[in-house]
Amino acid sequence: MNVSIIGIGLLGGSFALAVREKYPKMHFIGVDTSPVHGQLAIAKGIVDECLPLEEAVAKSTLVLLATPVNIITDMLPKLLDLLPEGATLTDLGSTKELICDAADQHPKRAQYVAAHPMAGTENSGPGAAFRDLLPGKNLIICDREKSAPDSIKLVEALFRDIGMKIFYMTPKEHDLHLAYVSHLSHVSAFALGLTVLEKEKDENTIFEMASTGFSSTVRLAKSSPQMWAPIFDQNRQNVSKALGDYIEFLQQYKAIIDNQDIAGSLDYMQRANVIRRVLEGIEKK
């Protein structure tokens, strides 16, 4: 069976590395606009060969689209046009409403499975891919009922075989929740990075004074702008709302300290401490 990975970055590359370990005979074809990424992907054993898009798709049973989300929405209808009969197309985009919209009117909609793994790091490109990124994590599939049973079966089997747990929701639910539990964390880290960088023009001061708490909170500010700008744009209504809620909580706390309201301060943090239970749930996953 041939599998094409379009966009051989962190997610597409990590998927290939995990699946290849389970299925050593599967043949992986890389498609990437960057020849350097292609060569690196072959050297790292992510794919067996790189081919031009049309050639790769024509010989594939499964096509995995793992580019930034703006390119996913652009390419999806064209890829469905090219997709051989009986083959399946899936994507790993961090937004789902616009992507599913782009597929919905296509006569071959049933050959597409809308997927999103709850996994990532702040690094990107094939050099950042690693076999253990996806195993043990969750996968969200949207609009499952719009996909053909055989396509669902193939996609779910591969993700389950690499140790992922599958959940289902509508694209609308997906994008709303993601705005809060993922996209907002990224904006908060980017803004924290900018705030501290602007104040601490002399970077040595940050080296000397920052501890692991700062590193952990700001880590996502290292993430790829090319990947995140289209996500925030496609999910802008939910992200804008989440960001508005977040700013409100910050303003509440600013008022608490400005008013020297110690009881309010304790209460605010105690309510936030409930996140400990949630994090223990995530870490147990």
Q: Can residue 43 be called a binding residue for its own copies (CB under 8 A)?
A: no
* The only residue of 54, 87, 119, 170 in contact with its own copies, by rule CB under 8 A: 119
* 194 in contact with its own copies (CB under 8 A): yes
Quick check: 18 binds its own copies (CB under 8 A)? no
Q: 235 to each of 27, 97, 171, 177, 238, how far by Cα in Å?
A: 35, 8, 11, 11, 6
Three-state DSSP at 140 gives strand
From the list 35-43, 60-68, 72-80, 180-188, the region that binds its own copies by CB under 8 A is 180-188
- Site for its own copies contains 217 (CB under 8 A): yes
Shortest reach from residue 170's CB to its own copies, in Å:
13
Which among 127, 114, 93, 111 has a CA at the least distance from the CA of 57? Answer: 111
At its nearest, how many Å lie between its own copies and the CB of residue 125? Answer: 14
The interface region with its own copies, picked from 31-39, 60-68, 107-115, 261-269 by CB under 8 A, is 261-269
Spatial CB neighbours of 50, under 8 Å, sequence gap ≥ 6: 29, 30, 31, 32, 35, 38, 39, 41, 42
Choice from 46, 56, 89, 242 touching its own copies (CB under 8 A):
242
> Of the ranges 5-13, 35-43, 106-114, 214-222, which one interacts with its own copies (CB under 8 A)?
214-222
Report the residue number, 74 or 233, with the smaller CB distance to its own copies: 233
* DSSP strand pairing (138-142 vs 112-117): antiparallel
Number of residues written out for the chain: 285
Residue whose C-alpha is closest to residue 113's, from 83, 82, 139, 147: 147
Q: Are 109 and 141 in contact (CB under 8 A)?
A: no
25 binds its own copies per the rule CB under 8 A: no
Min dist CB 274 to its own copies, Å, is: 6
Q: According to CB under 8 A, which residues from 122 to 151 bind its own copies?
A: 122, 137-138, 140
